[in-house]
Amino acid sequence: MSRFDPLPPTTLFKALESATCDEPLPATKALLDAAKFNADGLLPAIAQQHDSGEVLMMAWMNREALEETLSTRRVCYYSRSRGKLWRKGETSGQQQALVSAALDCDGDTVLVKVDQTGPACHTGRRSCFYITLDSEKAAIDSEPLIDPATLYKKS
């Protein structure tokens, strides 16, 4: 039981702003009831390599994907293009083992710290964020670790 349990979902994240590290919180189920999935039922999910801190990618999770991620400890997204759950690495083998997950202050974004096998990016690069920009010029900042043709080869 926590002092937040009686609150309606609409006010929960606001109330949690004053929560401290040592007090009991509502169960994960209640947090997910209150989380602000967008009009398509999705939250942006940022994947970060847990030890190096590298931001690997951003994708989307529906509630089912987030619940599966938390229960299996293997990261599962929702593919907007395919319209179904996407267990990261199911085709490429480049899985993400979950280390920790956190919602943000207003409950509309999730950060997953992961242990990424090989490259996170479908191009074979470690991170998807490889196109650097300044006000005038752009550049590529990393090369593929693996030829992407080998990641998605027909078997």
Could you list the residues that contact a copy of itself (CB under 8 A)?
Answer: 16-17, 19-21, 23, 25-28, 31, 44, 46, 48, 52-55, 57-58, 67, 70-71, 100-107, 109, 111, 121-123, 125, 128-143, 148
**Closer residue to a copy of itself (CB): 95 or 144:** 144
Least distance to a copy of itself, CB of residue 3, Å? 13
Task: Tell me whether residue 76 is annotated as binding.
Answer: no
Selection from 55, 50, 75 nearest residue 125 by Cα: 55
| Cα angle for residues 36, 38, 43 (degrees, 5° grid) | 70
Amino acid found at 110 = V
**Closer residue to a copy of itself (CB): 57 or 65:** 57
Work out the burial of residue 116: count CB atoms within 10 Å of its CB; fewer than 13 is exposed, 13-18 middle, 19 or more buried: buried
Q: Can you say which residues are annotated as belonging to the binding site? A: 104-106, 108, 121, 128
